[in-house]
Amino acid sequence: MKNLLKVSVIAAIVSASLAGCNQEQQASTNSAANTQATKTLTSKDAEKFLADVEKESVALNLEGARAAWIYANFITEDTAALAAAADQKSTEAGVRFAMEAAKFDSVDVTADQRRKLNILKQSLVMPAPQDSEKSAELAKIGADLGSMYGKGTYTTEAGDKLSLGDMTAKMATSRNYDELLELWQGWRTVSPEMKPLYERQVELGNEGAQGLGYTDLGAMWRSNYDMTPDEFATELDRLWGQVKPLYDDLHCYVRAELGEQYGNDKVPQDQPIPAHLLGNMWAQTWGNIYDVVAPENADPGYDVTKQLAAHNYSEIDMVKGAEKFFTSLGFDPLPETFWTRSLFTKPADRDVICHASAWDLDAKDDIRIKMCIQKTGEEFSVIHHELGHNFYQRAYKNQPVYYQNSANDGFHEAIGDTIALSVTPKYLKEIGLIDTIPDESKDIGLLMKMALDKVAFIPFGLLVDQWRWKVFSGEVTPENYNQEWWKLREKYQGVSAPVDRPADAFDPGAKYHVPGGVPYSRYFLAHIQQFEFHRALCEISGNTDPIHRCSIYNNKDAGKALNTMLEMGSSQPWQQAYKVLTGNEQMDASAILDYFAPLHVWLKEQNKGRQCGF
C-alpha cells in the first residue's frame, strides 16, 4: 500500500467544501486571499503547516490502509463502502494539502521544506480546477471511465460473452490467427465510448495543473523526478537509445519466428509485427509466446515447480525461504505480526483480491503481503519481489511521513525486481532446491524467456506517457488520438494494428492506465533501474560470474549497501540515492546490455541474412 502523499488522487472532491457558494464570488475571494496570504507567509508558517499535515497524514494513512486491507480480504458491499469512504477522506485531504502547499510557491523556505511542499503538490495525479462544478465533473468522469473499463466485455461471433480476463487468458495460449484477431478487435470495442469523457478529463486535469503552477498536466507529472520536465523527457529518450539495439535484434528474431508460425503473408518480414500475435492483449510483454520462439535445446534441466513439490514446500515454506534471502544479507527477520496478519492462501469461505501485493499499514512494523500463493517457480520469484517491497517499507520507516516512499516512483518496483534477479540457478542450488547448476549453454533459453518480458516491455513502458504528454500539451488533438497512438507504437515497438482502425477508435483507452489516469513512466524506469542495481550489488558482493548468473544471496556487503539506499526513502533527490548504490547520479541502461550479452550475440547470429528493422 502506498503513502497518502503519493497515491493517485482526484482533486474533484474539493467540491464538498465549496458547495452552496456562489462560484464566481468564491473564486474571486479565494484569489484575493491567496495573494494576501502569499505576501505574508513565512518559513515558520510553512513549518507549522507541514507539521500539521504530517500528523493528519499519519492518522489518515493508517485508517485508509486498514480499510483497504479489510476490503481486499473480505469483499462485501459493506467493506467496499468503508474502503471507499476512507479513500474519499484521503482524497479530500490530499486536495486540501496540495492547494495549501501551492500558497508557499513564492515564499522563501528551507530546502527541506521546499521538498516536502513539492511532494504535497505532486501527490495529485489528476488535480481538479478550483471550481466546485468542475471538480464534481472530474470526479464523475474518473468513476465513469473506471466503470467502463472494469465492466467491459465482448461477445464472440460464437456467442460467448468474455471478460478481459477471459480474453487475455485465451490470447496467452491460442495460436489461431483468426481467433487472436477477433479477441484483439473485440476488446477494443469497449474503449470508443470513453473518448469524449477522456477529452474532457484532459481539459479539466490541465486546468487543475495550471492552478498549481504547471503549464499542463504532463509537465506536472514530469516534474516529479528532481529535474525539469524537459530534462526528464530527454533522459528517457537517452536511456531508450541505449537499449534499442538489443530490442531491435530481439524484434527481428521474434518476427522471423512468427513468420514461420503464421506465414510471411500474415507477418511480413519488413514490416512491424501485427499486435495480436505476441501473446498479450497490448503486446507489451511477449513471454507467452516463448513456446513459439524458444531456442533449440534450451531446457535448463530443472523445473522449479517440480523441485518445490519434491522438497515438500508449503506456501509458508516458500515465504520463509524468501525471507531467508533477506536475512542472509543482514536484514532483520520479519516481525511476528507479518506471519499472523498476512494472507498467503486463498480462503475457502470467502472472496478475496488475489493479486499479489505488499502492504505497510502503520509505517512502523506492520508489514504484510497478500497473495493466493500457488506452489510454482514463478510464484517463488514473485514472493521474493513482494518481500523486496516490504523490506524497503521497513527500511524508511524512521523518515518523516513525506519521505516514506521510494526515491522516485520507479525505485519500488525496481527493488522488488532486483531481488528477483538473484533467484538464479546458483541461488537455487545454494538453498538446496536443485542439485547442479546447468552449464552456460543452457543460459540462452533462460535469457530469452526473461527478455521476452523485460526487454520487450521497455519501449511500451516509454510510449504510453509519450502519447499522453503530447495529448496534455495539445500537440495531439482528439481527432488524432488514435493515429498518434499507432504512430508511436510503430516507432518505438515496431508493432502495428493488425487491421485498419475505425475513425472513431480510441485504442489507448483499451489499456487500463489511460482511462485510470495512472502515470506509466515509473514502469519504464523500473525496468532500467533493476538491472543497474543488480549489476552494482553483484560488483559489491565480489561476484566473478556473468551478471545474469549472479546472486547476492548470503552477502552482507551487498545487503549493507542496499539497506543504506533503502533507508533514505525519498528524503533526497533520487540521484543521491542512486549514487549510494551505483556510484553514479545518472541512470545507465548498459547494465541491461551486460545482462543479456550472451543472448544478444546469439540473436545476431540467428538474424544473419535477415532484413531487420521496421
Q: Is 302 a catalytic residue?
A: no
Please choose, from the candidates 442, 548, 455, the residue with its C-alpha nearest in 3D space to the C-alpha of residue 254: 455
Active site residue 534: no
Q: Residue 194 in contact with residue 509, Cβ under 8 Å?
A: yes
Catalytic position from the list 355, 378, 479, 503: 355
Of 341, 434, 356, nearest to 389 by C-alpha is: 356
Amino acid residing at 363: A
Catalytic residue of the set 413, 505, 527, 532: 413
Active site residue 600: no
* Pairing assessment for the beta strands 495-496 and 273-274 based on DSSP bridges: parallel
Q: Find out whether 371 and 346 touch, Cβ atoms under 8 Å.
A: no
Angle (CA) 599-600-602 rounded to 5° is 65
Q: Which of 253, 392, 520, 523 is catalytic?
A: 523
Catalogue the long-range contacts made by 36-40 (C-beta closer than 8 Å, 24 or more residues apart). 37/103, 38/103, 38/104, 38/105, 38/106, 38/107
DSSP 8-state assignment for residue 495: E
Let me know if 355 is a catalytic residue. Answer: yes
* Catalytic annotation, pick one of 386, 403, 490, 600: 386
Residue 350 amino acid letter: R
Say whether 396 is catalytic: no
3-state secondary structure of 159: coil
Q: Active-site residue 356, yes or no?
A: yes
- Please name the helix (run of DSSP H) or strand (run of DSSP E) that holds residue 357, with its range, or none: strand 357-360
Query: First-to-last CA distance in the chain?
Result: 41
Residue 527 bears catalytic tag: no
Residue 601's alpha-carbon distances to 245, 292, 379, 451, in angstroms, are 12, 20, 30, 13
Query: Which residue among 63, 356, 484, 567 is the active-site one?
Result: 356
523 is catalytic: yes
Give the active site residue among 56, 179, 315, 513: 513
Q: Are 527 and 457 in contact (CB under 8 A)?
A: yes
Report the distance separating Cα 119 and Cα 51, nearest Å: 14
Compute CA 427 distance to the chain's CA centroid, rounded to the nearest angstrom. 27
DSSP letter assigned to residue 272: P
Alpha helix stretches (DSSP H) within 151-228? 164-173, 177-187, 195-211, 217-222
Task: Determine which one of 276, 384, 385, 412 is catalytic.
Answer: 385
Residues that are catalytic: 355-356, 385-386, 389, 413, 513, 523
